[in-house]
Chains A and B, each alone.
Chain A
Amino acid sequence: MKLLFTFMIIISVLTSIITNKTTEITNSLIESSRSAVELSISLLGMMCFWSGIMQVAKSSGFTKILSRFFKPLTKLLFKNLSGEESDAITMNMSANFLGLGNAATPFGLNAMEKLHKSSLIKDTATDNMITFVVLNTCSIQLIPTTVAVLRQNAGSQNPMEILPAVIITSLITAFVALTVTKICNRLFSLKRSRK
């Protein structure tokens, strides 16, 4: 992450000098930082709401029941999960699956926190964390609502016709990404890479 960030800023500044876009780049700095704040403020309400719902679900034992359903999947993907961790991960997976993007983020942050607690090296991602983040970037949704709405607005005859295609693509993508993750977790295991 620090590589990407540094790299992008350096390349951007150099390119802007070459292409003579130094005003644009300064403007975009101000624009983007404002957008980030606007995004956070707009997220604030939903984050609070879903974090509240999640706490209710946790204290009522709902998350435990849900995670029992997902046990075969979580056992396959993750190693040595504690009860709390698998509950949180399950909530995030369900939210993603149901297309509740706004819910998935607070659930996901909570799951990351739980995974982080049991980690020994506090500034480094553990194998389970990596699997979890990769899983989140794969987005296996039952119904791709955002895309469908945009297609409808653009005048599509049948906005949902892409549904089976999206499901197949997401499943294959998730399979590939998670397999690569499992291989990398073994190849670049923490014990060996700590030189």
Chain B
Amino acid sequence: MSYFSNLVLPLFIFIIIMYAFFKKCDIFSEFITGASQGVKSTFNILPSLVALMVAIGMFKASGALDAVIAFLHPVTSFLHIPDEIVPLAVLRPLSGSGSLSVFQSILKENGPDSFIGRAASIIQGSAETTFYTIAVYYGSLKISNSRHTAFCSLIGDITGLLVGLTVTRIFFG
């Protein structure tokens, strides 16, 4: 399995370059044109990243995140969401690095093959960092009105949480 996943990236690059070679493209200069666009894009998204990461960092450091988790406790225990999973579920849409570190500590505390470990793995693997994606994609174009994007994505995240837990129960009892 891991052989295949290691193969994907080099193969993808290989196919693109080979195809361009057969089409007699000026590969190098096209690459440079694209890459200089890449530099611009990276600096375009920097302000959005700063805004998001500062807001979330402050939110965590002030204790507000812990307050939210405590506040949600009656709801999460009603839905049979294990306490250990709640910080991961709350952090997943907010911060990629944050959810990664929570995920790793869950694996360390509960073991990767426990029910909690597996549930956490499934939840971590089936979602993206919602607000990072929204901030970066809209921020780079200076779009201030994202309408119902966040709402729909969060519905997705909540679905992922509930379905992930259910699927873990079905597969791993």
Report which A residues bind B (CB closer than 8 A).
1-2, 4-5, 8-9, 11-13, 15-16, 19, 21, 24-25, 27-29, 31-33, 35-37, 39-40, 43-44, 47-62, 98-100, 103, 105-106, 108-110, 112-113, 116, 122-125, 129-130, 132-134, 136-139, 141, 143-148, 150-151, 154-166, 168-170, 172-174, 176-177, 180-181, 184-185, 188, 193
Once the chains are docked, how many angstroms separate the CA of A49 from the CA of B128? 22
On chain B, the residues within 8 Å of A58 by CB distance are 30, 34
A27 touching B16 by the CB < 8 A rule?
A: no
User: Does B32 sit within 8 A of A, measured CB to CB?
Assistant: yes
On chain A, the residues within 8 Å of B35 by CB distance are 48-49, 51-52, 55
Report which B residues bind A (CB closer than 8 A).
1-2, 4-5, 8-9, 12-13, 15-17, 19-20, 23, 25-27, 30-39, 41-46, 49-64, 67, 93, 97, 100, 103-104, 107-108, 111-113, 117-118, 121-131, 133-153, 155-157, 159-160, 163-164, 167-168, 171-172
B62 touching A24 by the CB < 8 A rule?
A: yes
A136 touching B60 by the CB < 8 A rule?
A: no
Knowing A60-B25, A141-B125, A166-B126, the reply to whether A43 touches B42 (Cβ < 8 A) is yes
Which residue of chain A has its CB nearest to the CB of B64?
A15
A48 touching B58 by the CB < 8 A rule?
A: no
On chain A, the residues within 8 Å of B167 by CB distance are 165, 168-169
Knowing A133-B153, A150-B107, the reply to whether A123 touches B25 (Cβ < 8 A) is no
B64 touching A11 by the CB < 8 A rule?
A: yes
Which residue of chain B has its CB nearest to the CB of A96?
B128
On chain A, the residues within 8 Å of B36 by CB distance are 48
B53 to chain A, nearest CB (A): 4
Once the chains are docked, how many angstroms separate the CA of A20 from the CA of B28? 57
Which residue of chain A has its CB nearest to the CB of B145?
A124
A113 touching B122 by the CB < 8 A rule?
A: no
B23 touching A1 by the CB < 8 A rule?
A: no
Once the chains are docked, how many angstroms separate the CA of A66 from the CA of B168? 34
A100 touching B8 by the CB < 8 A rule?
A: yes
Once the chains are docked, how many angstroms separate the CA of A154 from the CA of B147? 41
Residue from A57, A100, A177 within 8 A of B152 (CB atoms): A177
Task: Sort A-B residue pairs by CB-CB distance and give the 7 closest, nearest first.
Answer: A55-B34, A51-B38, A177-B156, A32-B57, A28-B61, A60-B20, A144-B125
On chain B, the residues within 8 Å of A100 by CB distance are 8-9, 12
Knowing A165-B122, A166-B126, A177-B155, the reply to whether A12 touches B20 (Cβ < 8 A) is no
Can you give 9 A-B contacts (C-beta < 8 A)?
Answer: A1-B150, A12-B59, A60-B25, A62-B19, A116-B143, A124-B145, A133-B153, A151-B121, A176-B156
B41 touching A47 by the CB < 8 A rule?
A: yes
B167 to chain A, nearest CB (A): 5
B144 touching A154 by the CB < 8 A rule?
A: no
A40 to chain B, nearest CB (A): 5
Once the chains are docked, how many angstroms separate the CA of A129 from the CA of B20? 29
B62 touching A15 by the CB < 8 A rule?
A: yes
On chain B, the residues within 8 Å of A157 by CB distance are 113
Once the chains are docked, how many angstroms separate the CA of A99 from the CA of B1? 14
A56 touching B34 by the CB < 8 A rule?
A: yes
Of the candidates B15, B61, B113, B135, the one having the most CB atoms from chain A within 10 angstroms of its own CB is B61
Residue from B41, B124, B135, B141 within 8 A of A147 (CB atoms): B124
Of the candidates B45, B141, B145, the one having the most CB atoms from chain A within 10 angstroms of its own CB is B141
